[in-house]
Amino acid sequence: MTDKIRAAILGSFVGDSMALGTHWVYDQDLILKEHGRVEGLLRPTMVEYHSKKALGDFTHYGDQAYELLLDVSTHGEFNLDSYASRFRALFKGNYNGYVDKATQRTLDLITVCTDFNECKSNSTDLGGVSRMAPLLLSYANDISSLKESVDSFVAYTHDDVKVKETADFFATLTYKILHDGLSPSDIIKKLKDTDKYPHINQDIIDGLDSVSEDSPLAIKRLGMSCDVSGALASTIHLIVKYENDFNKAIIENVMAGGDSAARGMLVGMVLGSYLGLDSINKRWLSGMKRYEDILGFISQTKHSHYYDDVA
């Protein structure tokens, strides 16, 4: 179990770091022309959003997930007030990355709202969900607490019904992979047939129905951009189509362009939890600048949910 949790978290960071070099490039042909088939980490030279980032860095999604990891590792559980302080400090300082609309809106609201619970950003971006993997450290064996913490974490910057439903979906999917021994595709098909996700069920269906298609074409049709409508279907396409090949899933995600970092973090989390650490390209892991730090924070998290020996 601990290997799979570790793989889910590291896989999520790999999905982000691999996407950095071509993140938000929407011309799939240009990605192929400039880099060929992307099979390793790249410096972000194609667009200006991440121009201050270096090889092995994270996008702003990965940076936020890293702050979440630090906080969960320190406290052994999710504490919104503590994480919110880290979030504000990250972006209020000399941040060397891109500040997206959801982040800026959240920072703006903090300065004017006396009760932040009544005044949250309603961003509909999939990126709000993508950063969730570190919460598995504390709650991988407690589905109720996992869902509660994921909902609180996501709503802080993305208080939208479809985004929060998507967060619940991925919490449930990852938990069931870890505990039920089923494949991602089997679980997703079962979740599709429930009434738990009325706002995203069509996206789930669209993702499942697209698996026979070529990935760049499918993702271009389903949705390349940040919005959860379309981005969720594209993410499900990648998870199901490549559920037995972590590395190919990540490569195909990068080649598809658009908001590949948001998709990649979820693909990495889900397939990492299913396939384990040995499935992840070792060069990608060691190439992440904060790889050793991440391993350290994972190992020092003294919380029973992580260290319980559950087969």
CA dihedral 156, 159, 164, 166 (to 10 degrees): -100
C-alpha Rg value of the chain to the nearest Å: 18
pLDDT one-digit tens code per residue, 16-60: 999 999 999 999 999 999 999 999 999 999 999 999 999 999 999
Give 301's pLDDT tier (boundaries 50, 70, 90): confident
Structural contact between residues 44 and 16, judged by C-beta atoms closer than 8 angstroms: no
Give 309's pLDDT tier (boundaries 50, 70, 90): very low
Tell me the CA end-to-end span of the chain in Å, nearest whole number: 6
Q: Yes or no: is domain 2-307 CATH 1.10.4080.10?
A: yes
Residue 217 in tokens: 């074409």
> What does the H/E/C string look like for 52-90?
CCCCCCCCHHHHHHHHHHHHHHHHCCCCHHHHHHHHHHH
Comparing 133-142, 196-205, 252-261, 292-301, the range with the smallest average pLDDT is 292-301
pLDDT one-digit tens code per residue, 149-205: 999 999 999 999 999 999 999 999 999 999 998 999 999 999 999 999 999 999 999
Is residue 15 helix, strand or coil? helix
Cα–Cα distance measured from residue 297 to residue 286, given in angstroms and rounded to the nearest whole number = 16
Residue 168 in tokens: 């619940």
Q: What is the number of residues in the chain?
A: 311
Predicted pLDDT at 310: 38
Structural contact between residues 113 and 119, judged by C-beta atoms closer than 8 angstroms: yes
pLDDT one-digit tens code per residue, 113-145: 877 666 789 999 999 999 999 999 999 999 999
Predicted pLDDT at 92: 86
| Structure-model confidence comparison of residues 1 and 262, the more confident one | 262
Angle between helices 161-180 and 184-192 (to 10 degrees): 130
Number of neighbouring beta carbons within 10 Å of residue 58 = 23
| DSSP label at residue 278 | G
pLDDT one-digit tens code per residue, 208-229: 999 999 999 999 999 999 999 9
Cα–Cα distance measured from residue 92 to residue 112, given in angstroms and rounded to the nearest whole number = 15
In the block, residue with structure tokens 């505990």: 179
- What pTM did the predictor assign? 0.96
pLDDT one-digit tens code per residue, 61-109: 999 999 999 999 999 999 999 999 999 999 987 899 999 999 999 999 9
**According to DSSP H, which parts of the chain are helical?**
2-19, 28-35, 60-75, 80-92, 101-112, 127-130, 136-139, 143-155, 161-180, 184-192, 201-209, 215-222, 228-241, 246-256, 260-275, 282-287, 291-299, 304-307
In the block, residue with structure tokens 């320190």: 74
Give 304's pLDDT tier (boundaries 50, 70, 90): very low
| Structure-model confidence comparison of residues 70 and 112, the more confident one | 70
